[in-house]
Amino acid sequence: MKVKFLIICLFTVLSVGAYNDYRNARVDSLEAALKSKNPPEGADLLRAYDELMRGYLPFNGIKASYYGHKALALSYELNGLRVRQDVLRRFAQMHYAREEFDEAIRIFQQALAVVDSMEHDIRYTPSDVDDARSCLYGAIGNVYNMQDKAHLAIHYYQLALPIFEKYKWLESQTVLYHNVGELYFLMGNYQEAERNYLMGLSKSSESKDSLMIALSQKGLLRLYINMGDYPKAIKMAGPCYSYYHAHRTEEVGDYYVVLASMVRLNLMEGHKNITAAKTYAKEALKQVDELGFEDKSNVYAACSEVAMAEKQWQQALDYALQTIHPDSLATSADASCYKLLAEIYTELGQKAKAREYIQKMHDVMSRYSTDHYQSGLSQMKVLYETEKKEAQIAALDKERGLYRWLLVAAIIAIAALVAGGILMVLVQRRKKALLAAKVALDTETKERRILARDLHDSLGSMLSVLRLKIEGDTQKDETLRMIDQTATELRRISHHIMPEELLQGGLRTALADFAISVSGTQFHFFGNDTIRICQDMELVLYRCAYELVNNALKHAAAEHIDIQLMQEEEQISLTVSDDGKGMSNTPPSHEGMGFENIRARIGRFNGKLNIVSTENTGTEINITLPL
């Protein structure tokens, strides 16, 4: 986890500073006041304890904890809600600093509950509540960020965003957009990453904060290099490099990232400037020696790429070997290093070593995909529980209104029986709703296991071909092409395990993006999508479209595929048609290729499946779900 942890730290440490305020409290004078003949009492004593905890927190955890417990106990006596949430937040930050992330989340949630109480207390203004709540949302997002739980981190960052916008806190908005952009970048969702980075650049330009501007430019520089967009990358490179070079002693980690990006910028296809790339690589190595940094793999990887461009294969190997971590600590970031080593060993004619690192790349990415799937499923469960609690709170509010009505009605007439019947109906409806949600979650779990298995099978077959290809020296170029194809296939399948576009933009957006990613495929939408259907139904329709398009490509040899989505008031329809070789209309031909799977998925929504196909002409498949 070391590489991933440090990559995340590059922006998480900054965001923690944006959300937390460690002002230098006058701890000596405050402690002297506590020991004086007339020590503070009541609310003044509570504020003194609060200030002492805050003052000691950066450099004396024991004293900070001591005064924090004093403040917490007194806050219950005096009903001091603002101080209580402040103290709880700082205790959570102490657990965060010790990497006790689950305990930090638990205490942050306690602080949020206190803020909810502040909202209904006339002592606190809406600004007081918003300030406390946004601080906690950002802090919780940072913890999930550190745990590599991207969906939960984004969820809490987005909860903080409306508050930042309301009060025009531009620097906080910049950091938030940058953090979200980094998460999407790591997930391979470059479109959303670019959108968030650009929003951050807009806010930082509005604030005229040079550090915030450079932060956004750094993210965009890396993104455009990965996208292969040289004109956009070179536009970000100059001002970004100038800022971090001028502040290299304060921003050591970010300066390494920028130097590595400058190396790769000058190695981009069609724009190679090996001399410039070597200059930036030497500067990066010099900074490693002079300033030091715990993880240097990004710098060594960049140096290895320069040597490869010069066809200095032994030098490239020496640098590349310094980028990898022990197998037990290897992460998805190491897969890129394994890919470099496989290419280098192939050029050196060491077939056994090349096969070894191809296998390591396969093992790491398979493990990462499984871990990513399990993490995504766990995060969906947390969000499900959160939404369930919010629904329960809303239901309780409605029930309170109902109780008031029943009290008035009881004074006027005997309505106990009617009220009891109404309450029973409400309880039954709520139980049915929760049961339906649980069934949906269980079904999604099974579907994701199937997809995870697909990922493993796909990679396994491709790597078997790679092993055969690498047996002969005459096929080295083909081997390298297949390695790249394997990495592309992995990213494609991993992305469809948890389509981020579906969660954020809905079914229409997800299907449109999917169609763009498949050659020869078009998407058309008809109807009104202003009201989103339930997420479970969206997920089922997306999976059906994904499976039908794959069937058309694999079994029908289709050249053109058309996806249509029609949303009406009473139903929603998905149609996938192709110009492939078609199939017989006899029932047995409809039972293979995943149709049984599709029928099972749409069955729980009372959906209908209709297949029209003619041999050597094409196939049209329609799925209709009632709303």
pLDDT at 377: 42
Q: Pick the closest to residue 522 from 485, 571, 582, 575 (CA basis).
A: 575
Return contacts of 232-236, CB within 8 angstroms, 24+ apart.
Answer: 233/265, 233/268, 234/265
pLDDT above 50 (res 88) = yes
pLDDT band at residue 333 using 50, 70 and 90 as cut-offs: low
Assign 518 a pLDDT band (cuts: 50, 70, 90): confident
Residue 406's nearest CA partner among 395, 397, 417, 419 is: 419
Bigger pLDDT: 335 or 17? 335
> pLDDT tens, 351-374?
898 888 888 887 777 666 555 544
Q: Which residues contact 281 (CB under 8 A, 6 or more apart)?
A: 259, 263, 299, 302, 303, 306
323 Cβ neighbours under 8 A, 6+ residues apart: 297, 298, 300, 301, 304, 334, 337, 340
Region 28-32 average pLDDT: 87
Residue 94 has a pLDDT of 93
Q: Is the pLDDT of residue 597 over 90?
A: no
What pLDDT is attached to residue 435?
A: 58
Q: Which two tokens stand for residue 293?
A: 């940094």
Backbone phi, then psi, for 223, in 5-degree steps? -60, -50
Domain 499-627, architecture per CATH: 2-Layer Sandwich (3.30)
Main-chain dihedrals φ then ψ at residue 591, nearest 5 degrees:
-95, -15
Check whether 505 has a pLDDT greater than 90: no
- Of residues 459 and 10, which shows the higher confidence score? 459
Residue with the larger pLDDT of the pair 388 and 31: 31
Q: Is the pTM of this model over 0.85?
A: no
Task: Express each pLDDT in 33-49 by its tens digit.
Answer: 899 989 999 999 999 99
Model confidence band, residue 503 (pLDDT cutoffs 50, 70, 90): confident
Other Cβ atoms less than 10 A from the Cβ of 237: the count is 22
534 pLDDT tier (thresholds 50, 70, 90): confident
Q: What percent of the chain has pLDDT over 90?
A: 35
Between 119-128, 319-328, 352-361, the lowest mean confidence (pLDDT) is in 319-328
* Beta-carbon contacts of residue 146 (< 8 Å; ≥ 6 apart): 5, 8, 9, 12, 96, 99, 101
Question: Residue 83: is its pLDDT beyond 90?
Answer: yes
Strands of 137-212, DSSP E: none
Please tell me the predicted confidence (pLDDT) of residue 539. Answer: 84
CATH 3.30.450.260 assigned to domain 1-167? The reply is no
Residue 185 pLDDT greater than 80, yes or no: yes
Per domain, the residue ranges of the chain are 1-167, 347-498, 499-627
Please report the pLDDT score of residue 196 as a whole number. 94
Q: Could you tell me which residue, 277 or 517, shows the higher pLDDT? A: 277
